[in-house]
Structure 1
Amino acid sequence: MFYSTLIAMFLASCVQGIPEDPRLGSLIWTPAGGFKLMDGGLRQMYDTVAWANYTNHINKTGWGYLEVQTDPAFEDKVQAFAAGYLEGYYTAEQIYQYWVNTVDGYCNGKEEICEKVIEYLESNTRWIKTKIAAHRSKNPYWHQVGLFYDQFEGVVHGYNDWARRTKKTIPRGNIFWMNVFGDLEDLEQVFASRFNLTLERVLGTGSCSALIKLLPGNSELFVAHDTWNSYQSMIRILKRYSFGFHMTDTDHKQQIPGAELTFSSYPGVIYSGDDFTLTSSGLAVLETTIGNSNPALWDFVKPEGQILEGVRATVANRMATNGKEWTKIFTRKNSGTYNNQWMVVDYKKFMPGMSRVKSDLLWVLEQLPGHIRSADMTSVLAKQSYWPSYNSPYFSDIFNMSGNPAMVEKFGNWFTYDKTPRALIFKRDHRSIKDLKSMMKVMRYNNYQKDPLSRCEECDPPFSAENAISARNDLNPKNGTYPFGALGHRSHGGTDMKLTSSAMFKDLRFMSISGPTAEDLPPFQWSQVDFEKDCPHLGQPDLWQFEPIQHVWSMPPKHLKAPSKHPFLDAYFMFFGDTERQN
């Protein structure tokens, strides 16, 4: 009731006539006045609960950059809503573009399946909010789940305030769909299987490549990730959250371990989604999708008693201090949707030049509906000097349950763990990695017409640009023939590269490249592809040819607010909008 009153007070107090394209802003809150947006600067006052700094450089670097910070002096629910509001408001133009490109019209031709998915999501949300209300005051897990939904509610309100002026409205519930896009693909399969509905799906479609690499002599540890997605999704934002959340709703002494997160993401999405996240608790967290091809397992997916993947990942990122803790937290309330192989690297366990790699440096978790397997895989990393991930389960029991053996029997080695093209390419090329440059080269690698490991004897022509570390399916001939859809011509491929090292990780920094790989290949250009008119790409540059960048976060790493020395001065600065304070 109290929280609902805060939101109502905020909506009633929003200022009018806000500039069309803001970049900096703060939210202030007082018990009497509620929330108020202070646009155009980072106000440092006793009643400032959150700050945001956003720059859209998609036409310069392929990325937008968003930083949001909150003050731990305020109630966590107030912080979460304020953080979400600032993000929703300042990135609203890109949220609208991303919605047009990826969600608008999503249900065309599959309305019956979407109705089932909507019913599931509504029922699941009701169950979760009931649990939050009952347990968040004393239970750290449910408190963090609650903060996810509080922050999301702020995003929606922030966006809607912007949309009221611009008339660029998004239908109710669609921003939530953007936050559960990975789960949606599996939920579609659940209800298509359960109710014998028709669902068109690209067989074998890949989603991401990842590599963890130990250099000789343990001189460095690289962690890298390539997102594979539709090219329509390439409205991207690098984000840094610095939140003053606490472990429970009532104990404001203990702050969460993962108070600061940096990650690659999408407009309106309040976690990575790729996933690639660095946490202030010392963890680098990433995954590639392994999917599920065993229809019998969909029976484990229920609307109650389960929490969707992005929420569980966010809670684990905020609460865990090591890889084992992360896997235990993530395992709770397994939804069986967006089934991935997760890798958690604990950089606290690594020191350049260390004589021996310590246990618990790398934990790996694989999820299927009703089943999760996790283990410390540091010994494998140390023995091989690398850990690759490419959409195929490593653990034999997960592999066998996933339905992959039947796919191997039907289509051959492409669906195996150790003989699929990316497994063989990683096994061959990881030895060439000596530094950041060579690591990036491996992660952007695609020489599909000349590399024998990219050959596809059943294809005509006998190769596929899917068979590479960073796919370029737009280059596969449209009139070619392929044994299954993933190998063919479509708007899909590697859409970025992110890479961190032990040195960069200290400041939660990483290298990144946005857009499809152009290593040994022509750059991707919308005006040159035959699917341009069929694939909306509002807000994207025509030509995708960007250099690697290492973004330096501009806001200080600690909270901005300084204690007030006199309440009159705070009132003065609030009235005149001064962002500087001299004592």
Structure 2
Amino acid sequence: MFGSGMSIMPRALSFCSLLLCTAGALAGIQYATLYWASEKTIKVKGALDRNGDAYGFYNDTIQSTGWGVLEIRAGYGTRVNKNNNIMFAAGYLEGYLTARHMYNHFANLYPQLINNASMQKPVEDFLWRQYQWTKKQITLNQDDPFWRHAGYVIAQLDGLHDGAAKWAKLHAQKPLSIINILFLNGVGDLLDLIPVLFPSVKTNWMFINRTAPGDYRWDVDHCSALIKVLPGFENVLFAHSSWYTYASTLRIYKHWDFNISDANTSTGKMSFSSYPGFLESLDDFYLLGSGLVMLQTTNSIFNKTLFEYMVPEALFTWQRVRIANMMADSGTTWALTFSRYNSGTYNSQYMILDWKKIKLEKSIDKGTLTIVEQVPTLVVYSDQTSILRKDYRADPYAKNNSCNTICCRGDLVPVSPSPFGCYDSKVADITLASQFTAFAINGPTVEDGLPAFRWSRFNETVHQGLPEVYNFSFVKMKPIL
């Protein structure tokens, strides 16, 4: 019911042909409601009906604020649905509402990772094998709560593909294939996987290690994060900034509320920063209905002997994050859930803040902050505190280099500037988190007189559907349905 047969992008379908598939609706709010007409038939109407099986809206304000906003609720209608159907419906509605930007985001990211025709088939084969292995494990382990939740995630993924395909049919466009959807969701995992599959290939955003000429590395340290406790426990503040190519700045802030009836589900409600076609944050920045906040920064892997453990018979990091976010009610249970079937890809440090354990102006109990770290073959966790630095021009460790900072501006590096670095910030405190609320800004930092980033300096980088200039303000993100 949820599977769509293998639909790999044909070799003849060039990257350029995807650039033609982006004409669509004008910016604005689009409402939609999904109905299960039967067990296998879906209808979508362009209105918001709270009696529907899934309903929501997409507010396309990327050009004016730097962010689109998506909100979807599923499983709250008059019809009682199976959990997999709820998740499929949620994914379908998201694909239907955001398909136009999914095309743009794929067009922008594909050449960043796959810039050599010989790379396409091995990457597609790995993604397909991992997808099929995951579906097989879900079928074989239906009584295991972990795999049951993996099934929810894959049902949502299949729905995303089918919903985007429905939009494509209505707009006479060639649909994104399931492999294209797997590519989008696997971008973080591919940052580690591609150097393993192609150790001799230099991609668009490999940085030269200038202390060792000729030695290249992938700069996959994707983020910066901060958690700050005020001196008298008056508040706990947290923030996050994402790093990557500026071509990935097509942003959607998402609010999901899925009514999942499963004794092992801690929450189906979350708000998070994300991207078109992604069923994860990737940044990561999550406010979860279980009372947890999850932030992430990426770890580079330099021990190449670990690369052999990256195989398709494992769950990608984005999948395990989603499963842990749904099942966990504490930092410890999040870590234990996340550690299963470690793919060794998109290796990161995760900060799990449990605001249920914070008594403002009184105490911060044990287990409030759990740090989880992954490398291939190993996931470890413990209670810790982190401190980060800022302002590279006043920081003695920065040596006046805009990328030795908490928020890199690769376009301002004097030698060989590139559109790469820190490109957003999300901030909140525990009171806001309890209301699924945060403040977010998109674009490279412009504080203290730094110039706003403009694509006109880097027109050779594909930046389809992106703002020309990034000089936005913070936007309040809060669910309204």
TM range (shorter): 0.7 to 0.9
The answer to whether the aligner puts 1:198 opposite 2:201 as a matched pair is yes
2:187 corresponds to which residue?
181
Counterpart of 1:142 in structure 2 is 147
Over 3 Å counting, the alpha-carbon distance change for 1:108 and 1:33 in structure 2 is: closer
> 1:97·1:539 contact (CA, 8 Å) conserved in 2?
yes
Give distance in 2, aligned partners of 1:146 and 1:261.
18
- Deviation of the 1:246 alpha carbon: 2.9
Measured in 2, the distance between the counterparts of 1:169 and 1:446 equals 46
Between the aligned partners of 1:210 and 1:3, the Cα distance in structure 2 is 37
Matches for 1:104-183 after TM superposition, within 5 Å = 106-109=113-116, 111-136=117-142, 138-169=143-174, 171-172=176-177, 173-183=179-189
Equivalent residue in structure 2 for 1:453, among 378, 397, 405 = 397
State the secondary structure of the residue aligned to 1:534.
coil
User: Residue type of the partner of 1:169?
Assistant: K
Q: Give the structure 1 partner of residue 214 of structure 2.
A: none
* Ranges of 4+ aligned residues in structure 1 off by more than 6 Å: none
Larger Rg belongs to: 1
- Work out which of the residue numbers 47, 64, 72 in structure 2 matches 1:68: 72
* Alignment of 1:264 onto 2:279: no
Residue type matched to 1:51 in 2? Y
- Alpha-carbon shift at residue 547 of structure 1 (Å): 1.2
Return the match for 2:290 from 271, 281, 294: 281
Q: For 1:477-496, what aligned pairs fall within 5 Å after superposition?
A: 477=414, 480=415, 489-496=417-424
Moved more, 123-132 or 314-323: 123-132
Q: Tell me if structure 2 keeps the 8 A contact 1:107–1:114.
A: yes
- Give the TM-score normalised by structure 2: 0.88
Taking the aligned partners of 1:151 and 1:353, their CA distance within structure 2 comes to 41
Q: Please say if 1:25 is aligned against 2:32.
A: yes
Q: Shift of the alpha carbon at 1:475? A: 0.8
- Counterpart of 1:57 in structure 2 is 61
Tell me what 1:230 maps to.
245
State the partner residue of 2:367.
Answer: 360
Q: For each residue in 1:308-342, what CA deviation from the matched residue of structure 2 results, as whole angstroms up to 9, or x when unmatched?
A: 00000000000000000000000000000000011
The match for 1:548 among 470, 474, 479 is: 474
- Post-superposition Cα deviations, 1:435-493, rounded to whole Å, max 9, x if no partner, equal xxxxxxxxxx5444x543321xxxxxxx321012111110112xx3xxxxxxx521111
* 2: CA distance, partners of 1:32 / 1:367: 40
Q: Does 1:468 align with 2:399?
A: no
Q: Write out per-residue CA displacement over residues 192-230 of structure 1, whole angstroms, 9 at most, x where no aligned residue.
A: 34xxx4344323623211011000111110111100111
320-329 vs 170-179, which deviates more? Answer: 170-179
CA distance in 2, matches of 1:334, 1:33: 34
SS at match of 1:348: helix
**Is 1:509 the equivalent of 2:437?**
yes
* Shift of residue 170, structure 1, vs aligned partner: 5.0
The CA distance in 2 between the partners of 1:33 and 1:516, in whole Å, is 45
Alignment partner of 2:299 out of 278, 284, 290:
290
Give the partner amino acid of 1:211: L
> How far apart, in 1, do the equivalents of 2:288 and 2:302 lie?
32
Answer whether contact 2:57 2:72 (CA < 8 A) is retained.
yes
**Residue 342 (structure 2) aligns with:** 334
More helix by share: 1
Once residues 207 and 105 of structure 1 are traced to their aligned partners in structure 2, the CA distance between those partners, rounded to angstroms, is: 14
Distance 1:33 1:324, change over 3 A: closer
Q: Which amino acid aligns with 1:326?
A: W
Asked if 2 retains the 8 angstrom alpha-carbon contact of 1:315 and 1:329, the reply is: yes
Question: What SS is found at the alignment partner of 2:405?
Answer: coil
How far did 1:32 drift? 7.0
Kept after mapping to 1: 8 A contact 2:443/2:453: no
Name the amino acid aligned to 1:80. M
Count of paired positions: 444
- 2:19 matched residue in structure 1: none
The answer to which of 306-315 and 356-365 deviates more is 356-365
CA contact (8 A) 2:2 2:158 kept: no
Contact 1:464/1:473 (8 A) holds in 2: no
Paired residues of 1:523 and 1:544 also in contact (CA < 8 A)? no
Secondary structure in structure 1 of the residue aligned to 2:403: coil
Partner residue, 2:328: 320
Cα deviation, 1:20-63, whole Å, max 9, x if unaligned, reads 45710111124378321121x21133xx2101211011122110
CA distance in 2, matches of 1:299, 1:542: 42
Q: CA RMSD in A?
A: 2.1
Separation (CA, whole Å) in 2 of partners of 1:310 and 1:82? 20
Indicate the SS of the match to 2:189. helix
Q: Which protein has the bigger strand share?
A: 2
| Equivalent in the alignment of 1:100 | 107
**What CA distance in whole angstroms lies between the structure 1 residues aligned with 2:191 and 2:478?**
34
Q: 1:184 to 1:228 in 2, by over 3 A?
A: same
Structure 1 stretch displaced more, 497-506 or 204-213: 204-213
Equivalent pair of 1:474/1:492 in contact (CA under 8 Å): yes
The one-letter code sitting in structure 2 at the alignment partner of 1:368 is V
| 2: CA distance, partners of 1:495 / 1:105 | 16
Unaligned runs of 5+ in 2: 5-23, 208-216
Q: Distance in 2 between matches of 1:4 and 1:90?
A: 20
Structure 1 equivalent of residue 16 of structure 2:
none
Equivalence for 1:83: 90
> Structure 1, residues 411-451: CA drift from partner, whole Å, max 9, x if none?
xxxxxxxxxxxx5xx2xxxxxxxxxxxxxxxxxx5444x54
Judge conservation of contact 2:33–2:45 (CA < 8 Å) in 1. yes
Which whole-Å CA distance do the structure 1 matches of 2:279 and 2:250 have between them?
15
Q: d(CA) in 2 for partners of 1:104 and 1:492? A: 14
Cα distance between partner residues in 1 of 2:168 and 2:294: 34
- Alignment check: 8 A CA contact 1:447 1:521 kept: no
